[in-house]
Amino acid sequence: MRGTENQSGDVLRRAKRFISGLTACVFFLSGCATVPITGRKQISFIPYADMLALSVDSYRQLLDKSTLSPDTKTVRQVRTIGGRIARAAENFLRENGMAKELKYYVWEFNLIKDDKTVNAFCMPGGKVAVYTRLAVVIAHEVAHAIANHGAERMSQMLLAQFGTAMLAEALKRKDEKTQQYLLLAFGIGTNVGIVLPYSRLHEKEADYIGLILMARAGYDPETAVTFWQRMNERSGTRPPEFLSTHPAPETRIEAIRAALPEAMRYYKPPGN
């Protein structure tokens, strides 16, 4: 019995050392890139050219499977809003010594016909699909693109997969139940402790950057509060925030309100 306890304790100590080492690796890699506007250091070790190739291919597949809106007036509106926000983002990058990043962006804005879906996304390189027609949503998605969140998410996924594989290798001489329990605990810990918090961080960061971009493009950032209030009213039941990919609506709205004074400094209504 004591031998079994010693073995279990040894396995746990190895797992703890491994997780600590992986965490240190994550912190080391977090200095690889910097998010524009917020200045946050992020994990990103995937070449942007590779992300761009994947993005273009995925975007084309999406458009092939979707029905684009025939409403030329609304499509023009979305592209006008998108173009203004994209120019605001590019101007910010130029002003802050990041003009070299612009070579990766070929902005494209498409409106997908789907009345049941309230959504939008932007892939690396500036490929945007919009299911709604609000500047808040477009600015939020453009923010994801210039913050390089796609590469950061993929980097995190690769680190998590690497960690799982290394832990499985370390445990391969242990009994099957021990392997299952520790791998399950590692998977849950990684998801709840790293993946989901970073996903919520990306959403809050895109909200913040989006407010700045809206304001610089001449759109009133205060409309973001009413937009997310309406989204909250339309949503149904949701999991607790710590198990969600997105911040709770109340958390999101509070953060947006806190950032509004800064965003309003950039806002100049059209004609002013």
Domain annotation covers residue 195: yes
Cβ neighbours of 114 (radius 10 Å): 14
What's the domain range around 120? 12-264
Domain annotation covers residue 7: no
What's the predicted TM-score (pTM) here? 0.71
Domain annotation covers residue 208: yes
Query: What's the whole-number average pLDDT of the chain?
Result: 80
Domain annotation covers residue 126: yes
Domain annotation covers residue 199: yes
Domain annotation covers residue 3: no
Domain annotation covers residue 236: yes
Number of independent structural domains in the chain: 1
Return the C-alpha torsion angle 172, 173, 178, 181, nearest 10: -10
Mention every residue, 6+ apart, whose C-beta is less than 8 A from residue 211.
139, 221, 224, 256, 259, 260, 262, 263
As a whole-number percent, the residues of the chain with pLDDT over 70 amount to 83
Q: What is the pLDDT of residue 30?
A: 46
Q: What is the pLDDT of residues 83-105, one digit of tens each?
A: 999 999 999 889 888 888 888 88
Print pLDDT tens along the chain (272 aa). 444 445 445 544 555 555 555 555 555 444 467 888 888 887 777 777 778 888 888 888 988 988 888 888 888 888 998 899 999 999 988 988 888 888 888 898 888 877 666 667 777 788 888 764 568 888 998 999 888 888 888 888 888 888 888 888 888 888 888 888 888 888 888 888 888 888 899 999 999 999 999 999 988 999 899 888 888 887 767 777 777 888 888 899 999 999 999 999 999 876 66
Q: What is the pLDDT of residues 233-262, one digit of tens each?
A: 877 677 777 778 888 888 999 999 999 999
Domain annotation covers residue 124: yes
